[in-house]
Structure formats: structure tokens, C-alpha cells
Amino acid sequence: MAAPDGPLVVGVDSSTQSTKVLVVDSATGSVVARGQAPHVVTAEHDSDPEQWWQALGQALEECGAPVRQAAAVAVAGQQHGLVTLDADGRPVRNALLWNDTRSAPQRDRLLDELGGPAAWAERIGSVPAPSFTVTKWAWLRENEPEAAAATRAVRLPHDFLTGRLTGQDVTGGTTDRGDASGSGWWSTASQHYDAEILEHVGLEAGLLPRVVGAGEPAGTVRSGLPLPEGILVAGGTGDNMAGALGLGLVPGRPVLSLGTSGTVYAVSERRPADPSGIVAGFADAGRGWLPLACTLNCTLAVDRIAALLGREREDVEPGGDAVLLPFLDGERTPDLPYATGLVHGLTHRTTGGHLLQAAYDGAVFALLRALDLVLGEDAATDEPILLIGGGARGTAWRETVRRLSGRPVQVPQAEELVALGAAAQAAGLLLGRDPAQVARDWDTAAGPALPAVARDDAALERLARTLTDADALLRHH
């Protein structure tokens, strides 16, 4: 390995399926080593946090000598998960993950009992979905009271790993405002834990971690780990907040992530509070905000349509008039949990390629409508959309986003943006700098830039009209 230009830092991405580690040159952003290890998730959408810790150790070891030269580390983790620890810092039970929706009845009751969606949005910044941690704790107390009673610390996934690194498993644990804002018990209005909500769900504030400020360390690495003892541990954050850091976002710069689900977000200087629940009003990992919206049906749904048609995923044809809403898993944005896929407007002229293109159009249409809400007053139609995720590598996805948005599109070449954002946070702490500016200096958003094309208003109108006309059908349970 050539000598780095600056101190080495470590960024960790602990996601649903695996833990990824990058060792990064803090001066240039160059990745000098990487490691990865898998997790196991049960059919009930829970996971043993001890696996995450073992996977982190394996991924660090895989990085080899560079990880033993690191000067700081930060952990980004999947949002919303409920980690319950006993007095020895061991998991009381498997963690309930973000995609576990068994707490939907508890969510509904919490909304009703504490003022309704608008009151929650104003207070917490978001209307909690069943993914939010507060709903999971309510479920646990109701369905597994012995586990709740045995709990001596409640953590989010990134908090758990940060605590293991510093040796502060139960006492002295930390979190950050970004990840805390997805819990449902941290108020974006007061920027503190909400005492009334905690009392309502029977959770003692003393079981929760301290929220460290931007640029404040969570502690230092304890002995006996692959990392050097005593190096700085940054506060860490949630995966979406780390992704924003990894891109060095500035207000008004939109991100559209094309994965199994689709996500749109941007950083903002204004605190979001959307009573419709479409936009989650998260805090970012610094001192600003991260309005975010998510759709359930994205690349996987469109690939399924391609398979049904017997076509390759890029085998689209322009010029069709059919509409296809690929809501194969129900949909979150728009709020149609019982929806199924819908095809409208078939004629003798419709080809399989037209239908496949219509599936792309339906998925991107839902994301762009959500993006308008995310950006709000920060909207600037000449600002390129940063296109990330697996779908960003597909020509059909890129061209559909360009045609339906009328905006330029840029596809960052940097990979593992969540781990890169965690590394930028570690570098910012080490160097006393703004992590987002560190990432901008690393030029992480650099990549092919595609100019704007004329917006396809006819297609947008067809989609909007079909969605409106079919609303009752799509809502049928």
C-alpha cells in the first residue's frame, strides 16, 4: 500500500443483510481497504445483534493492515431497529428490524391516543410508520412483557455497535440526532426525548442513550479489537443520514435511490413536518434536516414485470399509451397498502416493450411525486438529480428519470456511500471539519452527467389521471 496523504479513517455500514467496512484516506477519500461479512435475518424480519458484532469483527479483519493504522471510526446502521439489552449488555431477544410491520396495530393506537397524524408530525417531525422504533417497543411490552421487563438499555442498531466499540454497552451509551429522529420518541421540535411519549409507552428515559452533538465523539475504541485502542469513535448515524453525508449534500440537491424500494431525500435548513406522513421529517447527521420519502415498489417490481413479459429488463420500447402502476407489494407512497399492480389502456398496438416501459414510468412517477414534497420550497428544476442505487446503472431507469423529471441527472461513481459517509464523519471528527464538506472535497458525487430532456407531460398526465380514477380500486382490501 502506498503511503496515504492523510490519517486513515474507518467507515462502517451495518445494513439489514451485511456489514461493510471501508478504510479511507482522510485527505483524498481514496479507499485503501474494504471488508464485508453477512448477517442472517429471520422470516419474521428480526436479527440477532450479536451477529452484527461478529460481522463487524470479520469485516475489520478482512481489511488487513490498514485498519490497524486507523485514527478514527464511525458506524452507520439501518434505521428504526429495536435493540434491547440486559444488565450485561447482551441482547434480551433478537432485534426487531425496520421492515418488521407486526407493530401496525400499536402504531394505529399511538396515533389515535396522542393527537393524530398532524400532532405527531409537528412534535416528532414524522407520522410514525410501523417501522418506527416506538411502535416496536409498544408491541414488545404488549406481546413479550417479560422481555420488556428484562431490558436495561434500549438502542438503535448503530448505537449497539458504537457501544460495543467503546465499551459503553449499557451505561454511557450514545446515539446521534439523525438516527434518533427515526425512533418516534425524539422530538425534532425540542431536539430532546419526548417525556410524554416515553411515559405513554412505558419506557424510562434512563434506558436510552445520550444524544451526542455534531462533531462530538462517542468515546474511544476499547482494547482487544482489530482497531487500535484509544482511537476516536464518532457519534455514528442512521444509514440514510450517512448516505447524505457520503454525497456531501447541500440544500436543494435531490437524491433518488433506485433499489428494491425507492427513496428520495435532500438536506434542508427547514424542519419538515408533513401531516400526510408521506415525507419523514428526519434530522441529518449535522445540524440540519433530512426530509425523506420511500416507495415500496422499485427495481424488484419492474424486474418482475419484465419476467412476466418474458423480456430482459432493458428491453423497453417508447411510444406506448398504456399505464402500468407496479404496486405489487402494496404501496407506501402513495399510501395504498392494499394495492396490487394495475394495467390500463391496452390496445392492439400495445407491445410487451411498451408495457415494460410503462412499468418503469409507474415506478418513477411515484418517486418524482414524492420528491416534489421532499424538496418543497427548496425545489430548483435545473439542479441535477443524483441517481444512486442498483437501478442507477440501468439505461432504462436513467432515461425514464430524465424523461419524466425534465431535469439533468448525475450518476455518482463512488460506491458504498453509507460506509463512505461514516468515514467522512470519522474524518470530520478527527480533523475538526464539517463531514459533508470533507465528502465534497473527496468529490464523492462525481460521475457521468446527463443533460435535461423535454419533460414528457403527456405520460405524467396519463399516470396522474389513472391513479386518481383507480383510487377506490387500489384501496380495496
Please list the active-site residues.
239
Amino acid 327 reads F
What are the E-state strand segments in 230-350? 232-233, 237-238, 255-258, 262-265, 280-283, 289-295, 323-325, 342-344
**CA atoms of 233 and 174, how far apart (whole Å):** 11
Cα 169 to the center of its chain, rounded Å:
24
The C-alpha atoms of residue 333 and residue 380 are separated, in whole angstroms, by 22
Question: Among positive and negative, which fits the CA dihedral 412, 415, 419, 425?
Answer: negative
Q: Are 272 and 281 in contact (CB under 8 A)?
A: yes
**Bridge partners (DSSP) listed for residue 211:** 175
Say which DSSP state 168 is in: -
Other residues' Cβ atoms within 10 Å of the Cβ of residue 473: 11
Rg of the chain over all Cα atoms, to the nearest angstrom: 22
Rounded Cα–Cα distance for residues 43 and 45 (Å): 5
